[in-house]
Chain A
């Protein structure tokens, strides 16, 4: 083409970008790029812990940006708004998840610091990937468009595939990466197909437009739309590890480097739920009668399968993997209620769960020892005598996961079950409570092993290497335990945070 021809083409209309709205994303991506570039250009190795510190600082900056955004969206004069041509929504919901996911990044980085040195893998890559993956998660939470959801999901996932396989010398790590990648692509295809079907049925991928269309029109035949629901649910159900799309979870959680598992179980699950809640509970609200039974089914299956299978495991990482499936079931109980209270309950649960699960996998990181291999229950026998504080921290986190009062875990379960009861889902509430009892067995089993198990018990009376507790991991554990207890006693700030973070539907301007 000649320059003259080019000049005749109308410039593509680019949407105006409000940089402030995407500032948490910019900080995370910017941090990742700076870290990668600086590490590549630096001639000497940076001081110990530099990467982790950098990541934590970046995360803190992102939280600061989120706090500014929170001020803006909760200001009655201004309120929530859309940005980038209606592609993303900035409301309490997006900010809530930005904070949750960023917290997971910071805690994950603290855990990774010593782990990478211990395993001889030290380098900036894991941190960079964690920041980028987290960015994808925040994009999913901010998305106001199905395509943007997909974009965020892929950013999140692809980084995670690499992170899962980061432990080069461990076969299980490689295996988990491949499994995660294959099954993740498989589920992405479902999600994409679901998006296409919903677009076909409603004529838009924008949430505001879809909701407006659904409430303004009665579809003569809604088969297309409902098939779209089903496929979207497959894709998102995979991400949050809901049964029957959970099959990858135990293998991948077990095989991936433990700090990565911690991040995966917290940030990735949170991002998946962000999309699930926004797409179904908020956007497809009109069709709640159609999707609620499915959500019910997924919740019940996740609760039961998660807790039942956790009981028969002997590997602590696998136990925690199944327990995370049953936690997904609990959060689905909140989603199934399809009410503001249900969403607020689910949000509270996710935030509380993030700290509990990162802390728990943090303990597994330390106890696992060199080679990240020692995750059998026997490794925990007598831990209370070798490392009383570590055992105490793990006990608190496990009890919180079991839902013992005065921990955040109790209130999390209380709020979602309360929402289910309010929505008249009595059966679901009952099943949730019963499955909590079954799951409690798992947590108590680990606790009992730590406190009552004799180290010399069993066939292998091997002398175990001492469990080291490096400062970074100690900090992460301390934060996780403190959060769990403080929120368990003084829940109201977090409850208010979750209540104000219920998503709003905004159309493109």
Chain B
């Protein structure tokens, strides 16, 4: 076997000519362990023979990349059925990763999926499916969108039906087995129960179809795994059920064989153990699908029909056949089929299902509309701009799916523990058997002892039967399925809940990190502030008296006069401060006439002739040069500057007329968001290119703890790094495009206000709305999810830690009580159900922001609206 060689066909990218071929061939031939290489330029492939003991694909990839070419990878998602615990996850991942050509495999137990990154040509999806089947599971390739939803739902329903059928068979026969076993204790009921049901051979006959019917799955699955060297919980069940049934059968058929005789025929153990395990699987199948409801809800939102206008005629076509540029008509109450740009009409659209925004958003010509949102009031037409996989909804679904399929570090640890647990349990089962066989039975066995919660006496059971019973109980009670479900189920529920609130996590790791955040750095412009200057203060010179018949006393009217004159002067200016003044005047309803003359003074301001007056507008230096004395207003001007505002001086006819302060204003919810973060114990920091005085003034208004001022855009990432170096877990909140390096550097990058074009965004978390309070929602969802993960892991490990010693007979020397295998099976099922139900409590999560918001008229809960919309779109 030392000379094992494989044939391999590798795709190569970047080759353009014959010399490329020789480069790639040369690079591969030089590698030790590569025997033969042929590179084909036409097919862009390298065929080679290699010895896997001497060379790996990673070496080949490196060698090809070193000479300037690449080996492209692809990704496929497989639906994997039959996984029930964390060890199943480890086995499926292991089976996939062992395949030559598979670079990465991430299995999600909750979703029942395996996401595989592979080199096309080196491995095929059918090889992957075969590898999964070989270790005892079923696999099929996952398709996109509604088809995937249908298939997933179908698979889940099939599993529920299958286990339900098994449960009815095992449960009903198991009940008869129970009645027969405890016939002697039935009292007056004996009159209606036929006595033959208590005969051992009848009980054996009844148990046989349970073990080989509904229980057959455990034997076949564990055998398939064993053949490939993997052990899973099916093996625990198979050995448990098999041992109980086998010994009972021997004791019935050969009572003198020495295994305890008729007094130790535990057929009911085999029957009820099978029933309880199947009950657990059935309940798990029922509840597990509910944790992934978020995706299902999102998928349900996709409208099926679009009303397209072609050749001036309305035409109803399937929504997935809409093409970019199609003109689409939407009537009140209808869902918008794809993303687009409104060309005609006016309406209010409920976007809450995608953005979490509770109030309907007004739409008029030129506004964007998002596919799958609900048109409320008017009718409008729009041109499709994004269709199919590019729509906002499709991108969001992909993002949530990817997040749910990823693994948090805590889950990797849990999976590793559970994956190695099964072997540990079998070793423990050997030790328990050996202990009770050689030592325990002789010292502690009491023929009058009984099982916990059972009147059934152990009676004449022998040393072998007793030791075997305890060994089997350890196998059954130790199943780590609750450990396997603990993290993924909570992560799925958490990412779904976040998506409902307009917060998209890009992976489970982001949730875990977000729950540990200590410091949040906000980019100032566009994040804390609106990013555009606006008029904040107006001061009229009270000592000036009257200008050409109009009072300039410091009254509201005189302030508006100053603003109007300044705005007219700036009307033709393209300077941002000038635009702010014009907008300020317009927003106050001031009519702006045309200036008689206009002159821009670069770097200083403007001068203009307005309604016969000489208006001069600009900075302090301009006023000094023109000898306008602003001494009376200078104190006021300096106070504005101390608050980070830019002051514009206005002179009329050579006299100081007033001041206009302009500043970048805070967003509506900035102060509230920072206060709420402080309540959560988070340190806040602001990063900006502004000078320190301006930056500190804004920080004071907002309540920010730390100011990082005068930072150039390219140095923002460095500042984040410095904070991290102090040992803090840091998040950066900013524009997903401009702040990309800082978002990438932070432990958690949050891209805010990205709208629904989520695919472009960098960062670990995407906040769809332009509402900074969603940073608080992000933290609250992350903390609630991780709390749930920890609770689940606690209960799962607590259960195993407590139950294994009990199953091993720890109580027996003191109380002469042991746990029967069937009770162990029931406890195991209960532990999984407890974890899943605990996770489902996350469905009731509501962020403090939403809790405190007063209900808006006409705006129900997102869930309610989701349901309404789903009903409309079906």
Partners in one complex: no
The interface of chain A, by Cβ under 8 A from chain B, is none
